Structure 1
Amino acid sequence: MNKWLRANKGFLLFLALFGIFRTAVADWNPIPSGSMHPNLLEGDVVFVNRLAYNVKVPLTDIVISPTGEPQRGDIVTFSSPVNGTRLIKRVIALPGDRVEMRNEELIINGQTAGYTALGHGIETIHGIGDLAAVRVDEAVGDSRHTIQFLPQIQARRNFAALVVPPGQYMMLGDNRDNSEDSRYIGLVPRALLIGRAERVLASADITGNWMPRTERFGMSLYPKQ
């Protein structure tokens, strides 16, 4: 065993350093579900900047030093405060914001978000089939992004006004009626933030023919407004 370790110490050191790099500096995150449709698709692999908000002790959620502040509209990976599962959602409300939802419409600090119809799409729900999705442009302050609604299914479309406490964030999926987000798991503490998703590294149609979607390779998650 010792001989094998000596013979492979360079490779083992590389693996150790690579692991530290992935847990402390930069990472990639496969998208397993449709909760961020239509902007992220199952089979996308996104680049995650782990230094966007915090420097952490590798392999832990212990914050050494903050490096930046999450902004409304950021797409963020984080650990679920309920069970630790890694999730990816969009930051909707910041510490100190007063936020509520009425019939799908967000109201933040007394201002109703702007909604502009974009058209329709098809959403396939396991066990249900193909549903018509309503796609809209949502403008929340300086953040604009496409979201979609699925009127045919049950979802949490209303919640009472709340003020986001210091050090916590409200996360919502872009696929509003098919997303397990802060409406169900609660607000997310800053220490559980993993990083900011920046762009799609690669993509394949894992729900269909597994062919690469080359048009998505390198795609920014923050197109210019």
Structure 2
Amino acid sequence: MKRWFRNNRGFLVFVLVFGLFRTAVADWNPIPSGSMRPTVLEGDLVLVNRLAYDLKLPLSNVILHRTGEPLRGDIVTFASPKDGTRLIKRLVAVPGDVVEMRNEELIINGRTAHYQPLQQLTETVAANVALPALRLQESGALPPHRVQWLAGVNARSSFGPITIPPGQYMMLGDNRDDSADSRYFGLVPRNLLIGRAVGVIASADITGNWMPRWERFASDFH
């Protein structure tokens, strides 16, 4: 065994350093669900900057040093406060914000978001289940980005107002009627934030034929 370790120590050091890099500096997340449609798609491989907000002790949620502040509109990966599952959502409210939603319309600190319709289409949400969908540009309360509303879904399209306490953040999926987010599992404490998603590395159509989506390779979120 000692001889094996001696013969392979270079490889073992590489694996250790690579593992620490992924847990402390940068990581990549495969996207399994459509909760962030149309911004992030199932089958996207997303690059995550783990140093965007905090330097953490590797393999833990212990914050060693704050490196930046989470901002409204950031696309964030985090551990679910409900069960620890790694999720990706849009950060919509920071500590001190007063946030509410009325019939799908987001209101932050008294400012109602603006919605510009972009596209009507049909979205497949489950096997043999397709629903009418409307894609819109959401702006004003948050930096401009696209969201999606689905018809005929019993989602929490109204809530609040809620005042965000210190050290907590509200997350919503861009696919507003098909996303398990802060409306269901509550606010997310800062120590559960993993990092800010910065773009798509690669993408494949996992809902169809697994063909590469070449147009999404090395792309930012738009």
TM range (shorter): over 0.9
Equivalences for 1:1-225 in 2 at 5 Å?
A: 1-127=1-127, 129-141=129-141, 143-221=143-221, 223=222
Distance of 2:109 and 2:185 partners within structure 1: 22
Which residue identity is paired with 2:54?
N
Quickly say closer, same or farther: Cα 1:212–1:127, change in 2 above 3 A: closer
Query: Are the counterparts in 1 of residues 119 and 135 from structure 2 also a CA contact under 8 Å?
Result: yes
Q: Tell me how far 1:128 sits from its aligned partner.
A: 5.1
Q: Tell me how far 1:126 sits from its aligned partner.
A: 1.4
Q: Aligned residues, how many?
A: 222
Q: Tell me how far 1:142 sits from its aligned partner.
A: 5.1
Q: Tell me how far 1:127 sits from its aligned partner.
A: 4.1
Query: Share of identical aligned residues, percent?
Result: 62
Q: Tell me how far 1:190 sits from its aligned partner.
A: 0.7
Distance of 2:141 and 2:6 partners within structure 1: 58
Q: Secondary structure at the match of 1:100?
A: strand
Unaligned 5+ runs, structure 1: none
Which residue identity is paired with 1:106?
L
Which residue identity is paired with 2:37?
H
Q: Secondary structure at the match of 1:143?
A: coil
Q: Runs in 1 of length 4+ with deviation above 2 angstroms?
A: none
Alignment deviations for residues 106-150 of structure 1 (CA, whole Å, 9 cap, x no partner): 111111111111121221111451211111111143511000001
Query: Are the counterparts in 1 of residues 203 and 212 from structure 2 also a CA contact under 8 Å?
Result: yes
Q: Which moved more, 1:138-147 or 1:43-52?
A: 138-147
Which residue identity is paired with 1:184?
Y
Length-normalised TM-score, structure 1: 0.96
Which residue identity is paired with 2:139?
A
Alignment deviations for residues 29-75 of structure 1 (CA, whole Å, 9 cap, x no partner): 00000000011111100100000000000000000000001111100
Q: CA RMSD in A?
A: 1.0
